[in-house]
Amino acid sequence: MLPTARLFIAVPAADEVRRAAARLIAELRLSGADFKWVEPENLHLTLRFFGATPLERLPEIESLMGKAARRPRFAVSFGPVGAFNSWEDPKVLWVGVGQGAAELAALAESLGASAEGRPFSAHLTIGRRRGRGGGERLKAAARRAGFPELRQEVDRIVLFESRLTAQGPAYSIRKEESFLS
């Protein structure tokens, strides 16, 4: 069996975005909803998830990243808090992307994200449901807390390796590609 690594390409969240998300998560925890909250240092905009990938594919993925990074930097803005599937049945909580969403979608497509079979939706995942209950309190807490209108420059993409641990995922950087100046 070939050695594998659990890989994904993403844009890391800026420090200011992480701090705002940490405050939001602290507010949402008070709702008592049974969610696994993302550690702020792990926040990112996923562009393409590969899953368990044979390490022999690394040169191919790195080449793909190099081609995708031949673009100018651009800004994204973060906006409202939302939920997949819906607020009535929230499985994943996220912070949306306003400005820059189209550029992120084009970047994701250049990395082959369309091959994953679902449309790209730019967002920062902040929590995943573990159990039932607390949905209405969670929705009310999200409305009260909100998320500040923050902007971030997107100037690079990162290939992360994700190792699943009992405490949650641990990410390490395998490769970075900077955009054009």
Query: Which residue is catalytic, options 18, 48, 123, 129?
Result: 123
State the Cα torsion 66-99-121-174 to the nearest 10°.
Answer: 30
pTM of the model: 0.93
- Of 60-64, 115-119, 155-159, 177-181, give the lowest mean pLDDT range: 115-119
Look at residue 107 in the predicted model and tell me its pLDDT: 97
Assigned CATH topology for domain 4-178: Cyclic Phosphodiesterase; Chain: A, (3.90.1140)
pLDDT in tens, 15-53: 999 999 999 999 999 999 999 999 999 999 999 999 999
149 labelled catalytic: no
pLDDT class for 115, splitting at 50, 70, 90? low
62 labelled catalytic: no
Show the 3-state SS of 70-81.
CCECEEEEEEEE
Look at residue 113 in the predicted model and tell me its pLDDT: 82
